[in-house]
Amino acid sequence: MRQVYINGAYMPETKAKISVFDRGFLFGDAVYEVTYVIDRKLVDYQGHMTRLRRSLGEIDMSLAMTDADLLAAHRELVKLNDIDEGLVYLEVTRGAADRDFIFPDASVPNTVVLFTQKKSLMDAPAATRGLNVLTVEDQRWERCDIKTVQLLYPSLAKTRGKAQGADDVWFQRDGYVTEGSSNNAYIVSAEGKIITHETNNDILHGITRKAVMDTLADLGLDFEERPFLVTEALEAAEAFSTSSSGLVTPVVSIDGKQIGDAKPGPVSKQLRQKYIEGIRRRAI
């Protein structure tokens, strides 16, 4: 049985319990991170911890655990669950207190939970097949840069997208694509320029995005960080998305319109390969 981490202890998932008064449950008052594990090692762990600290700071939440404590918990779970490839999920909530909109005193301990998922992401069928994406209105709050567990809208949108035959949804505000339901979104123009939304409050500042942007610079590829229109995306030579769980995944249709020749394009394929080479070297 899977072992999970909860507030300093490791136990089988069926034994782990959280209070009904936990603010993560009552208010979505929690932040999280998802780290990819390859070759039993953590990918861009420091980037995830830096973003976690930023998310915590933006919602005035303290956390007693150090990065070293958190690293030890990640590693222990990878070991206990024998994760060769997969994900480690980490969630930090403001803890349990009588239901009140006002945050409880900072002395209330956080709830900290970690669990693993064994998954082959490297060989995901979507990488060779490519994704069919639908664009939908971005109805999330205006602090998408904070990685909170308030994922109801992305979950609703993706479920509705799936019912219409799509693999994923890309959000748009005023005709401009912000990002995917749980990934950053990119297009490649006919001239070969890679375009993705800049890092502001409208998107999550993806850890994979950062690595891919560094790869683009290393390869000397032309790129621009700006919002792109849905209409621009429909005319793009290629499109793809990035995330810790999808790595670099090609997009082959948007709103039913085929992108390129409806097969993963050369830029997406090259970036996926370079990204995987890079993380295999860097993982700790």
Interface with ligand PMP (CB under 6 A), residue from 179, 239, 240, 267:
179
Q: Enter the tokens of residue 195.
A: 């375009």
Minimal distance, residue 149 CB to ligand PMP, in Å = 11
Q: CA torsion angle for 254, 242, 149, 169 (degrees, to 10)?
A: 0
Q: SS3 letters for 241-269?
A: EEECCCEEEEEEEECCEECCCCCCCHHHH
Dihedral of CA atoms 13, 8, 59, 57 in degrees, nearest 10, equals -130
**Is position 204 an interface residue for ligand PMP (rule: CB under 6 A)?**
yes
Tell me if 136 contacts ligand PMP by CB under 6 A.
no
The radius of gyration computed from the CA coordinates of the chain, to the nearest angstrom, equals 19
Annotated catalytic residues are 147
One residue of 55, 111, 116, 182 binding ligand PMP per CB under 6 A? 182
Binding of residue 249 to ligand PMP (CB under 6 A): no
Q: Whole-angstrom Cα distance, residue 232 to residue 39?
A: 38
Give 172's strand partners. Answer: 137, 177
CB of 128 to ligand PMP, least distance (A): 21
253 makes contact with ligand PMP (CB under 6 A): no
208 counts as binding ligand PMP under rule CB under 6 A = yes
Task: Choose, by CB under 6 A, the member of 209, 227, 240, 275 that binds ligand PMP.
Answer: 209
Positive or negative torsion for Cα 86, 92, 93, 95 = positive
From the list 101-109, 122-130, 175-183, 260-268, the region that binds ligand PMP by CB under 6 A is 175-183
Q: Which among 15-23, 126-134, 241-249, 251-259 is the span making contact with ligand PMP, rule CB under 6 A?
A: 241-249
Judged by beta carbon, residue 86 or residue 206, the one nearer ligand PMP is 206
**Given the complex with ligand PMP, which of 105 and 142 has the nearer CB atom?**
142
Taking the complex as a whole, the smallest distance from the CB of residue 200 to ligand PMP amounts, in Å, to 13
Provide, rounded to whole angstroms, the least separation between the CB of residue 51 and ligand PMP.
Answer: 7
Does the protein bind ligand PMP through residue 243 (CB under 6 A)? yes
Q: What are phi and psi of 83, to 5 degrees?
A: -90, 105
Alpha carbon distance 44, 37 (integer Å): 10
Q: Which of the residues 90 through 129 are near ligand PMP (CB under 6 A)?
A: none
Q: Pick the binder of ligand PMP from 24, 130, 161, 206 (CB under 6 A).
A: 206
CB proximity list for 159: less than 8 A, separation 6 or greater: none
By CB under 6 A, is residue 196 in contact with ligand PMP?
no
State which H helix or E strand residue 118 sits in: strand 111-118
Q: What residues form DSSP beta bridges with 137?
A: 172
Footprint on this chain of ligand PMP (rule: CB under 6 A): 34, 179, 182-184, 204, 206-209, 242-244
